[in-house]
Structure 1
Amino acid sequence: MVKEGTQIHTFRIKIGQPYLWARLDRKPNKQADKRFKKFLHSKESSKAFLWNTEEDFKPVPECWIPAKEIEQQNGKPVPDENGHIPGWVPVEKNSKQYCWHSSVVNYEFGIALVLRHDPDEPGLLEISAVPLSELLEQTLELIGTNINGNPYGLGSKKYPLHFLIPHGAFQVRNLPALKHNDLLSWFEDCREGKIEGIVWHCGDGCLIKVHRHHLGLCWPLPDTYMNSKPVIVNMNLNKYDCAFDNECLFNQFLKIDKQKFDRLKDIMLDV
Structure 2
Amino acid sequence: MRRFGSVQQKIPCVFLTEVKEEQSRKRECQQFQVVATENVNPIALESNIDCALATEKLDGTCCYVSIYKGQSYLWARLDRKSTKQADKRFKKHQYSHKSCKGFTWNVKEDFKTVPESWVPAHRVQHHNGQPVPDDHGHIPGWVPVEKDNKQYCWHSSVVDYDAGVALVLRPSAENEDLLEITMVPLADLLEQTLELIGTNVNGNPYGLGSKKQPVHILVAHGSVHIRNPPPVDYQQLCSWFQDSKEGRVEGIVWHCNDGTLVKLHRHHLGLRWPDGDTILNARPVVVHVDGTIREYDITSKDLFTSLSQLNGHRFSRLQDIQFDP
- Which residue in the other structure is 1:240 paired with? 295
| Contact 2:125 2:132 survives alignment (8 Å) | yes
Matches within 5 A, 1:23-172: 23-40=77-94, 48-172=102-226
Structure 1 residue 184: deviation in Å? 1.0
**Partners in 2 of 1:241 and 1:231 — Cα distance?**
22
Q: Classify the secondary structure of the residue corresponding to 2:178.
A: strand
1:200 aligns with 2:263: no
Structure 2 CA distance, aligned partners of 1:211 and 1:166?
18
| 2: CA distance, partners of 1:128 / 1:21 | 20
Whether 1:15 aligns to 2:95 is: no
- 1:123–1:51 distance in 2 versus 1, CA, 3 Å: same
The answer for the alignment partner of 1:6 in structure 2 is 60
Deviation at 1:151, TM superposition (A): 1.1
2:278 counterpart residue number: 224
Alpha-carbon deviation of 1:190? 1.3
TM-score, reference length from structure 2: 0.78
1:41 Cα deviation (Å)? 5.0
Residue number in structure 2 paired with 1:215: 269
Say whether the 8 Å CA contact 2:118–2:142 is kept in structure 1.
yes
Counterpart Cα distance in 1 of 2:297 and 2:73: 19
More divergent stretch after superposition (30-39 vs 106-115): 30-39
Q: Matched residue of 1:116: which SS? A: strand
Give the match for residue 264 of structure 1: 318
User: What is the rounded CA distance, in whole Å, between the counterparts of 1:141 and 1:46 in structure 2?
Assistant: 28
RMSD (Å) for aligned C-alpha atoms: 2.0
Find the aligned partners of 1:6 and 1:220 in 2 and give their Cα distance.
12
Give the unaligned 5+ runs of structure 2.
Answer: 1-54
Q: Which residue identity does 2:284 align to in structure 1?
A: P
**Conserved 8 A contact 2:163-2:298:** no
* Residues 8 and 142, structure 1, Cα contact 8 Å, conserved in 2: yes
| Cα deviation code 1:183-223 (max 9, x no counterpart) | 11111111111111101123443322111122222221322
Give me the whole-angstrom Cα distance separating, in 2, the residues matched to 1:139 and 1:206: 15
- Deviations along 1:36-57, whole A, 9 cap, x unmatched? 23334567x7964332111100
What is the SS of the residue equivalent to 1:165? strand
Return the letter of the residue paired with 1:84.
H
1:71-98: CA deviation from partner (whole Å, max 9, x where unpaired): 1222221112222111001111142101
Question: Post-superposition shift, 1:244?
Answer: 1.3
8 A contact 2:59–2:205 mirrored in 1: no
Decide which of 218, 243, 247 is 1:189's aligned counterpart: 243
Q: Structure 1 segments of 4 or more deviating over 6 A?
A: none
How has the CA–CA distance of structure 1 residues 47 and 11 changed in structure 2, closer, same or farther, with 3 Å as cutoff?
closer
Query: C-alpha separation between the residues in 2 aligned to 1:20 and 1:202?
Result: 26
Separation in structure 1 between the aligned mates of residue 58 and residue 95 of structure 2, nearest angstrom: 34
- Secondary structure of the residue aligned to 2:281 is helix
* Structure 1 alignment gaps of length 5 or more: none
- 1:103-159 Cα offsets, whole Å, 9 max, x none, are 000100000000000111111100001100111111111111111111111111111
Whether the 8 Å CA contact 1:159–1:270 is kept in 2: the answer is no
Q: Distance in 2 between matches of 1:41 and 1:230?
A: 46
Q: Percent identity among equivalent residues? A: 56
Number of aligned pairs? 270
TM-score (norm 1): 0.93
